[in-house]
């Protein structure tokens, strides 16, 4: 009998990059490395990736596989069974991976580690996705922070500085699989219906696309970020969220990359603000880690009695961007067409769903989960709880975004709104966010027939706001 080939494995997960990949670099130091990717729709249960994420993942893996000379082995199923099979085929010395923080992944990885160590396989895990892992930032009494400001200022900024990025390793130890594995296409990640064709012109998933986005942002977006990030038509946001979610760029690369701009005249406040947004990402992960029920349960229990309504027709109109409120409709259509939505508009459409329509934040969270290319269990559930007011450090319940004034203030010329709601392109700015107030002759000049080619408002703003406030009063949220 011939001896089995001695190898180690790097298991790619949310770290689809070669540079600043601590687990991969360590693995490569240790000898021959088989790189693998496992699509695990088994342990993820309710947290199975949505359609837009699958589209992104397909292209990201394709890009990574090219960089690795086509040597990634793809698998679909339960990692436990896949590693059992691999250890029958090879003499597996060690398995390396970067840690993940979703409750289902933590559970799976813990079980797996125990199982593999019992088989005398060495498991080595690293931090490749966070600036500060959740258990390293705690209050003096050892409990987790629930409020962002002290978490970030006292917790993160006073903790040891994040690890500096490391170089891409030499790939000479990467080996091909001697046995059968699946091809990327076998993972069947691309949706059956070709809704994603336009997205292929908008995004370049993968490590190179991530670096390009970062450099473009640092050169043209960072200066003016603090103010400009509120305006969806401006180019002041980085659009790095999907790249960071899939680990095509690490937060460390972004953090230190941004800090390189420290000397630019007039940039100090913008830089500080941008770094604090990376802090919000860290905070979301900390919340998810310390409060693993975050995606399912209100962090503030008094919200369990909130009289959420159920109304599929209204929900469908929100999803399709047919609410009759132009800034809300623009956001929902941006999401559908591009897989992304600007942060300011996420807050507006979120507030509209839970406060004006009184629909449960779970409905919004689920829709975002399916449609966002940056759908992220930590950031999505923490942000939805923030919008609903049910989270740890949430928007107060009486903060109900007014979609009319938000539009007027943050998209005054309607550049963003008209891009996604082109049926309003000839409506003068004065009426853009309240078309029902426009006189008949103005509507007819703009070729708008309300209730026909653009909807009448789905609810009245004043009445729905009052209804929401009285519903909040009923559960005595003071």
Distance CA 317, CA 320 (A): 5
Is 258 exposed, middle or buried, given 0-12, 13-18 or 19+ CB atoms closer than 10 A? buried
Nearer to ligand FAD, 380 or 406 (CB): 380
Question: In the bound complex, what is the minimum distance in angstroms from residue 191's beta carbon to ligand FAD?
Answer: 19
* 3-state SS assignment for residue 6: strand
Restricting to residues 177-236, name those near ligand FAD by CB under 6 A. Answer: 229
Per the residue annotation, which of 255, 318, 384, 386 is the catalytic one? 384
383 in contact with ligand FAD (CB under 6 A):
yes
Separation CA 168–CA 17 (nearest Å): 9
The set of residues, in sequence order, having a beta carbon less than 8 Å from that of 261 and lying 6+ positions away, is 218, 222, 223, 267, 271
Asked if 379 touches ligand FAD (CB under 6 A), the answer is yes
Q: Which is nearer to ligand FAD, 367 or 472 (CB)?
A: 367
DSSP string, 399-428: ----HHHHHHHHSTT-HHHHHH-GGGTTS-
Asked if residues 198 and 420 have their Cβ atoms less than 8 Å apart, the reply is no
Q: Which member of 318, 361, 367, 369 is catalytic?
A: 361
The answer to whether 280 is a known catalytic residue is: yes
Of the pair 346, 355, the CB lying nearest ligand FAD is at 346
Count, residues near ligand FAD per rule CB under 6 A = 27
What secondary structure, in 3-state letters, does 130-165 show?
Answer: CCCCHHHCCCCCCCCCCCHHHHHHHHHCCCCCCCCC
Pick out residues in 261-280 that bind ligand FAD (CB under 6 A).
Answer: 277-278, 280
Active-site option among 104, 343, 423, 436: 343
In the list 237, 424, 432, 443, the residue contacting ligand FAD (rule: CB under 6 A) is 237
**Residues numbered 384-403 forming contacts with ligand FAD, rule: CB under 6 A:** 384, 387
Residue 354 DSSP one-character state: I
* Contact between 284 and ligand FAD per CB under 6 A: yes
- Residues 70 and 55: their CA atoms lie apart, in Å, by 19
**Which residue blocks in 36-76 are alpha helix, DSSP H?**
51-67
Torsion angle, alpha carbons of 425, 428, 430, 435, to 10? -60
Q: What minimum distance in Å lies between the beta carbon of 296 and ligand FAD?
A: 16
* 330 burial via Cβ count (<10 Å: 0-12, 13-18, 19+): buried
Q: What order of strands is seen across the sheet that includes strand 73-76?
A: 73-76, 33-39, 6-12, 91-98, 122-126
Q: Which is nearer to ligand FAD, 368 or 410 (CB)?
A: 368
Q: Could you tell me whether strands 91-98 and 122-126 are parallel, antiparallel, or unpaired per DSSP bridges?
A: parallel
Of 76, 177, 195, 280, catalytic = 280
Whether 203 is a known active-site residue: answer no
Integer Cα distance of 383 and 349 in angstroms = 12
Q: Alpha helices of 166-298 — where are they, by DSSP H?
A: 199-202, 207-220, 225-228, 241-245, 251-259, 268-290
* Binding-site string for ligand FAD from residue 436 to residue 475, where x marks contact by CB under 6 A and - marks none: ----------------------------------------
Q: Which is nearer to ligand FAD, 26 or 365 (CB)?
A: 365
Rounded to a whole number of angstroms, the minimum distance from the CB of residue 351 to ligand FAD is 9
Is residue 356 part of the contact set for ligand FAD (CB under 6 A)?
A: no
**Catalytic residue list contains 369:** no
Residue placing its CB nearer to ligand FAD in the complex, 85 or 211: 211
Q: List all residues 6 or more positions away from 312 whose beta carbon is below 8 Å from its beta carbon.
A: none
Is 436 an active-site residue?
A: no
For residue 368, the minimal CB distance to ligand FAD (Å) is 5
The reply on whether position 370 binds ligand FAD by CB under 6 A is no
Which of residues 40 and 374 has its CB atom nearest to ligand FAD in the complex? 374
User: Of 14 and 25, which CB lies nearer to ligand FAD in the complex structure?
Assistant: 14
Name the minimum Å distance from CB 371 to ligand FAD. 10
Residue 399's Cβ-side half-sphere holds a number of Cα atoms within 13 Å equal to: 12
Does the footprint of ligand FAD cover residue 244 (CB under 6 A)? yes
Q: Give 148: exposed, middle or buried? Use CB within 10 Å, 0-12, 13-18, 19+.
A: buried
How far apart are CB 382 and ligand FAD at their closest, in Å?
7
Binding site for ligand FAD (CB under 6 A): 229, 237-241, 244-245, 277-278, 280-281, 284, 343, 346-347, 350, 368, 372, 374-376, 379-380, 383-384, 387
- Catalytic residue numbers read 277, 280, 308, 343, 361, 384
């Amino acid at each position: 009998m011939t001896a089995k080939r001695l190898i180690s494995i790097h298991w790619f997960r949310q770290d689809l990059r070669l540079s600043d990949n601590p687990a991969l670099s360590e693995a490569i130091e240790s000898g021959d490395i088989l790189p693998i990717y496992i699509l695990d729709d088994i342990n993820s249960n309710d947290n199975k990736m949505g359609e837009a994420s699958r589209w992104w993942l397909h292209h990201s893996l394709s890009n990574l596989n090219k960089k690795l000379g086509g040597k990634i082995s793809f698998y679909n199923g339960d990692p436990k069974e896949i590693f059992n099979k691999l250890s029958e085929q090879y003499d597996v010395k060690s398995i390396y991976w970067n840690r993940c923080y979703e409750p289902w992944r933590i559970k799976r990885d813990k079980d797996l580690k125990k199982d593999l160590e019992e088989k005398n396989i060495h498991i080595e895990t690293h931090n490749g996705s966070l600036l500060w892992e959740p258990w390293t930032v705690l209050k003096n009494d050892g409990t987790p922070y629930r409020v962002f400001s002290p978490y970030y200022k006292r917790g993160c900024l006073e903790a040891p500085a994040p690890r500096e990025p490391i170089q891409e390793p030499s790939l000479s130890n990467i080996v091909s699989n001697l046995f059968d594995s699946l091809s990327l296409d076998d993972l069947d990640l691309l949706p059956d219906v070709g809704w994603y064709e336009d997205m292929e012109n908008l995004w370049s998933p993968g490590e190179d696309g991530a670096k390009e986005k970062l450099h473009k942002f640092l050169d043209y977006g960072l200066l003016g970020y603090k103010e400009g990030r509120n305006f969806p038509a401006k180019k002041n946001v980085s659009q790095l969220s999907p790249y960071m979610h899939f680990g095509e760029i690490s937060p460390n690369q972004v953090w230190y990359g941004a800090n390189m701009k420290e000397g630019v005249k007039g940039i100090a406040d913008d830089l500080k603000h941008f770094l604090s947004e990376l802090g919000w990402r860290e905070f979301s992960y900390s919340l998810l880690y310390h409060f693993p029920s975050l995606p399912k349960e209100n962090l503030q229990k008094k919200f369990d009695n909130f009289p959420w309504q159920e109304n599929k027709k209204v929900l469908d109109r929100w999803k399709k961007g047919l609410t009759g409120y132009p800034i809300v409709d623009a956001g929902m259509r941006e999401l559908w067409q591009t897989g992304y939505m600007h942060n300011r508009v996420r807050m507006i459409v979120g507030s509209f769903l839970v406060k004006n329509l009184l629909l449960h934040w779970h409905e919004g969270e689920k829709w975002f989960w399916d449609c966002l290319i940056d759908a992220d269990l930590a950031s999505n559930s923490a942000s939805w709880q923030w919008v609903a007011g049910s989270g740890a450090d949430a928007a107060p319940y009486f903060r109900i975004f007014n979609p009319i004034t938000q539009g007027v203030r943050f998209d005054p010329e309607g550049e963003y709104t008209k891009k996604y709601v082109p049926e309003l392109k000839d409506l003068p700015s004065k009426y853009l966010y309240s078309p029902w107030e426009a006189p008949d002759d103005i509507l007819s000049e703009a070729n708008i027939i309300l209730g026909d080619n653009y909807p009448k408002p789905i609810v009245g703003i004043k009445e729905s706001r009052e209804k929401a406030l009285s519903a909040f009063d009923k559960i005595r949220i003071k």
